[in-house]
Amino acid sequence: MKQYRNYINGEWRESARRFDDHNPVDGSVVAQVHEADRQAVDDAIRAGHAAITGDWGRTSPTERAALLNRIADEIDRRQADFLEAEMADTGKPFSMASTIDIPRGAANFRAFADLIKTTPLECFQTDLPNGAKALNYTVRKPLGVVGIISPWNLPLLLFTWKVAPALACGNAVVAKPSEETPGTATLLAEVMETVGLPPGVFNLVHGFGPNSAGEFITSHPDIDAITFTGESRTGTAIMHAAAEGVKPISFELGGKNAAIIFADCDFDRMLDGMMRAIFLNAGQVCLCSERVYVERPIYEKFCEALTQRVRDLRLGWPNDNDTQMGPLISAEHREKVLSYFQLAREEGARFLAGGGVPEFGDDRDNGYWVEPTVIADLSDNARCLTEEVFGPICHVAPFDTEAEVIARANNTRYGLAATTWTSNLDRAHRVSAAMNVGLSWVNSWFLRDLRTPFGGAGLSGIGREGGTHSLNFYSELTNVCIQLDPEPKT
Ligand code: NAD
């Protein structure tokens, strides 16, 4: 049986407590995971501080950029291993893991290698009344040891999205992947060892949240900052823990994202885009559209076309070229999603497609599958339209005016993402800017330039990551101010 160990101070560490890592496709056990205890987390944080006061703390951005590029190259070289681990942990199709998850893992390191070398520091000259000047410039310094807690839905992508900028800025990290997806993070620790990252700079600990490695990191007095991606409720718990030491936090949390489809859109392009926006990764992407508003003249046409496409979706083994959708991550998460299918019935929804559990007649019947599902006819304040489900489900509703749909789309406590489909340029600008979200797409979805800000408003998060926004979170800026007196008169 494969063993996923902790990586602390450049050494692999076993634990007495272990838990099983399951393949969601058929429920089989993939590996045993060594759960880090309080002592292990403590050792990891101490190792991080030692690294920063040692040689790592004296590295230049150019040296760190070179290391980050080597990490990216090594991820590329071991792409097959990463793909295997990612598919075993999540059950997601090869088509997705090979085009999104693993390449983005490497791309995150390259993007921040470039940025740390090229991002200018601020410099201002102040002119004083007596003719003297003051030269101000910023110095970028690491925060210290950063605690990184990440979720299971895009495991390598989201883990490296935090590790890469943290290392680029010269921090050490103690990072915990989700208990559901320990595989690729363990491979990343192997990569760190291979490229010769100094001991203590990257520490990996496995475990759960409360009363386990997650809480041990976030409540540790010597952790200097916390970056977290996961559920909004978990964000509340972590915020409590971080409050004690007034720790900087960066939160990427849940969403209840709206899609707005105008009758003048390119229908076929929109339909392809919306199939991705609703069902990519079985709807387990924080950016997925769970609320779909369609302008009335094309509402019936859209419902029919979407329903047909959903019926044709191929659910299958990750390695099958034909597979378009995989299972949910765990038995527990499937219970949650099925409870929302049931709630939708109780709230009076009409099911246009799905609503149950598929039967395969093979080992997949032991996995954590649900049918891709489309519902309609709920009122805007139904719980199914206000709470994040995080599964392959959307609700479709007609609208009549632009003002009406903007108000309905914004009627949520979340504020992560929106997508608008129209061929009217003025409307595209008006509606996309009116969305109270961090990411507003037009005629597209999940299109990312890693230099742009990423994050959400309201329950969807605090702060922005991406580009210089990440660099600013993962570093402390010191302003140096030097007074330059005027030349003395002779
Ligand atoms: P989760 O909050 O259950 O777990 C995320 C991580 O937090 C895991 O590593 C978990 O072990 C840890 N954790 C749980 N409780 C903790 C605690 N009390 N203290 C410290 N750590 C704790 O989330 P999940 O189920 O893994 O992921 C799904 C959620 O993540 C969804 O809500 C989704 O929208 C959100 N998400 C957001 C983004 C974004 O960028 N905004 C991206 C992906 C996922």
With a 6 Å cutoff on the Cβ, whether 264 touches ligand 1 is no
Residue whose CA is closest, atom 42 of ligand 1? 286
Q: How far is the CA of 327 from the centre of ligand 1 (A)?
A: 18
With a 6 Å cutoff on the Cβ, whether 254 touches ligand 1 is yes
pLDDT given for residue 490 in this prediction: 75
Provide the residue ranges of all domains of the chain, joining segments of one domain with +.
2-253+460-479, 257-442
Q: Which candidate, 458, 421, 409, 460, places its Cα nearest to that of 258?
A: 409
Point out the residues that are catalytic: 252, 286
Overall average pLDDT of the 333-351 stretch: 98
* pLDDT tens digits, 216-269: 999 999 999 999 999 999 999 999 999 999 999 999 999 999 999 999 999 999
With a 6 Å cutoff on the Cβ, whether 390 touches ligand 1 is yes
Q: Is the pLDDT of residue 162 over 80?
A: yes
* pLDDT tens digits, 260-278: 999 999 999 999 999 999 9
Q: Which candidate, 80, 66, 69, 77, places its Cα nearest to that of 107?
A: 69
- Tell me if 2-253+460-479 shares its fold with 257-442: no
pLDDT given for residue 124 in this prediction: 97
Q: How far is the CA of 231 from the centre of ligand 1 (A)?
A: 4
Q: Is the pLDDT of residue 461 over 90?
A: yes
Overall average pLDDT of the 137-158 stretch: 98
Q: Which of 231, 239, 253, 334 to mutate to test the pocket of ligand 1 (most atoms within 8 A of CB)?
A: 231
Distances, alpha carbon 20 to alpha carbons 2, 181, 310, in Å = 10, 11, 33
Q: Is the pLDDT of residue 365 over 80?
A: yes
User: Strand 18-22's sheet: what is its strand order?
Assistant: 2-4, 29-34, 18-22
Q: How far is the CA of 321 from the centre of ligand 1 (A)?
A: 30
Q: Which candidate, 242, 220, 151, 231, places its Cα nearest to that of 461?
A: 231
Q: How far apart are CA 403 and CA 260, in angstroms?
A: 12
With a 6 Å cutoff on the Cβ, whether 415 touches ligand 1 is no
Q: Which candidate, 450, 324, 451, 458, places its Cα nearest to that of 392?
A: 324
What per-residue string of b and e applies to 316-331 under the rule 16 or more CB within 10 Å gives b? bbbeeeebbbbbbbbe
pTM: 0.97
Residues linked to residue 458 through DSSP beta bridges, in sequence order = 414
With a 6 Å cutoff on the Cβ, whether 210 touches ligand 1 is yes
pLDDT given for residue 307 in this prediction: 98
Q: Regarding the domain delimited by 257-442, which CATH topology (the fold level of the hierarchy) does it fall under?
A: Aldehyde Dehydrogenase; Chain A, domain 2 (3.40.309)
Residue whose CA is closest, atom 39 of ligand 1? 252
- CATH class, domain 2-253+460-479, is alpha beta
Q: Which of 229, 448, 459 to mutate to test the pocket of ligand 1 (most atoms within 8 A of CB)?
A: 229
pLDDT given for residue 487 in this prediction: 80
With a 6 Å cutoff on the Cβ, whether 209 touches ligand 1 is yes
Q: Which atom of ligand 1 is nearest to the CA of 176?
A: 9
Q: How far is the CA of 229 from the centre of ligand 1 (A)?
A: 5
Q: Read off the tokens for 103.
A: 């390449």
Q: How far is the CA of 268 from the centre of ligand 1 (A)?
A: 34
Q: Which of 108, 153, 256 to mutate to test the pocket of ligand 1 (most atoms within 8 A of CB)?
A: 153
Q: How far is the CA of 301 from the centre of ligand 1 (A)?
A: 37
With a 6 Å cutoff on the Cβ, whether 438 touches ligand 1 is no
User: What does pLDDT average to over the chain?
Assistant: 97
Q: How far apart are CA 283 and CA 92, in angstroms?
A: 11
Q: Is the pLDDT of residue 40 over 80?
A: yes
Q: How far is the CA of 186 from the centre of ligand 1 (A)?
A: 18
pLDDT category at 486 given cuts 50, 70, 90 is: confident
Residues of the chain with pLDDT > 70, as a percent, come to 100
Q: Cα 133 to chain center, whole Å?
A: 45
pLDDT category at 489 given cuts 50, 70, 90 is: confident
